[in-house]
C-alpha cells in the first residue's frame, strides 16, 4: 500500500515483475524487478532486478523507465537525484531522474548531510576513510578517518568510528581532527552527540556505555594535562621532567 493509501503494489516471483493497482483493482502498470520505493511525490517508482544488478526507475506519468547500475539506495532530499550502490565493483553512483550518471565513487554510500547538500562515501574495503561530496560530485573537505556516524545537532562537529580500533573521532566542520575517544558509535540513535552538542556517548567492546565531555581536542587535552602536572610538581618539586608545563 502506498503512503497515501491510493494505490497498492504486488510482485510476481515467477515473472519477476511488479504491478501497480489503484484501489478499484485497475492495473496501472507492470514493471520489471521487485518493488523498492515510490518517490514522495508519487511520480517515480523504483524496482530492482537482482539477477542483473540493475535498478529500474519508472516515471508513472507514462510508465517509461531508465536502467541504472547497482541497487537503489536513496533519493536526494529534493528527489531530483538518486544514489545506487553495486557490490560487484564496490562503487556508489549518482544519477539524475533521466538516468544520466552524474558521478561514480569507489566506496559505499553512507548518507546525506542534514541540509541535503552533501553526502558521504565510506571506503570500506581498504582505506577505511570517509569522504564528503557535493551533489555535483566534487569532493568537499579532506577525507576523515573511519566511518561517518553523524553530525552534531549544532552542525559544528562530525563524528566517525574506527571499528577495528573501537574508537570514535570528532572533527570540526572543516574536517580538522579535534579529539579521539574510546568506544564506537554505530550511527544515529541513542549513541553519539548529546542534544546540546557538549558530550558524546560511545559503546566499548565490553558493552559498557561511556559519556565523554566534548572539547577542542589536543589543545584542551594539553591544558588539562599541564594543569595536572603543575599541581603535581608543586607538591613534588624534586621532579623536573615536565618543567615546560610550568610556563604560564
Other CB atoms within 10 Å distance of the CB of residue 137: 13
- Exposure string of 139-158, with b = 16+ CB inside 10 Å and e = fewer, is eeeeebbbbbbbbbeeeebb
What pLDDT score was predicted for residue 219? 58
Q: Where do we find the cell 566534487?
A: 138
Q: How are beta strands 34-38 and 44-49 bridged, if at all?
A: antiparallel
Give the residue from 44, 100, 40 showing the smallest Cα distance to 67. Answer: 100
What pLDDT score was predicted for residue 233? 64
Using a 10 angstrom Cβ sphere, with 0-12 exposed, 13-18 middle and 19 or more buried, the burial of residue 161 is buried
Strand partners, 19: 10, 30
Give the residue from 117, 173, 116, 120 showing the smallest Cα distance to 146. Answer: 120
- The CA distance from 29 to 9, in Å, is 10
Coil/strand/helix, residue 232: helix
Is CATH 3.40.50.620 what the domain over 1-106 is classified as, yes or no?
no
pLDDT in tens, the chain (248 residues): 666 778 899 998 888 999 999 989 999 999 999 999 999 888 999 999 999 999 999 999 888 999 999 999 999 888 899 999 999 998 999 999 999 999 898 888 888 887 777 788 776 556 688 998 888 888 889 999 998 888 999 989 999 999 888 999 999 989 999 999 999 998 666 789 999 999 999 998 888 999 998 875 555 656 656 666 665 566 666 665 545 454 54
Q: Taking the complete model, does pTM exceed 0.85, yes or no? A: no
Amino acid at each position: 500500500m502506498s503512503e497515501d493509501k491510493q494505490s497498492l503494489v504486488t510482485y510476481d516471483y515467477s515473472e519477476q515483475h511488479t504491478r501497480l493497482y489503484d484501489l478499484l483493482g485497475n492495473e496501472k502498470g507492470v514493471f520489471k524487478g521487485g518493488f523498492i520505493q515510490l518517490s514522495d511525490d508519487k511520480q517515480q517508482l523504483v524496482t530492482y532486478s537482482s539477477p542483473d544488478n540493475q535498478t529500474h526507475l519508472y516515471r508513472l506519468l507514462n510508465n517509461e523507465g531508465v536502467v541504472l547500475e547497482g541497487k537503489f539506495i536513496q533519493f536526494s532530499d529534493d528527489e531530483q537525484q538518486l544514489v545506487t550502490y553495486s557490490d560487484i565493483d564496490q562503487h556508489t553512483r549518482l544519477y539524475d531522474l533521466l538516468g544520466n550518471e552524474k558521478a561514480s565513487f569507489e566506496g559505499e554510500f553512507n548518507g546525506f548531510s542534514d541540509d541535503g547538500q552533501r553526502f558521504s562515501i565510506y571506503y570500506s574495503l581498504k582505506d577505511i576513510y570517509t569522504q564528503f561530496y557535493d551533489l555535483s560530485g566534487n569532493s568537499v573537505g579532506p577525507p576523515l578517518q573511519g566511518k561517518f556516524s553523524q553530525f552534531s545537532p549544532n552542525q559544528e562537529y562530525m563524528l566517525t568510528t574506527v571499528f577495528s580500533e573501537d574508537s570514535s573521532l570528532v572533527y570540526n566542520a572543516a574536517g580538522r581532527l579535534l579529539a579521539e575517544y574510546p568506544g564506537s558509535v554505530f550511527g544515529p540513535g541513542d549513541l553519539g552527540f548529546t542534544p546540546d552538542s557538549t558530550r558524546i556517548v560511545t559503546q566499548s567492546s565490553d558493552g559498557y556505555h561511556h559519556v565523554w565531555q566534548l572539547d577542542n581536542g589536543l589543545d584542551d587535552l594539553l591544558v588539562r594535562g599541564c594543569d595536572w602536572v603543575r599541581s603535581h610538581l608543586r607538591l613534588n618539586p624534586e621532579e623536573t621532567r615536565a618543567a615546560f608545563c610550568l610556563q604560564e
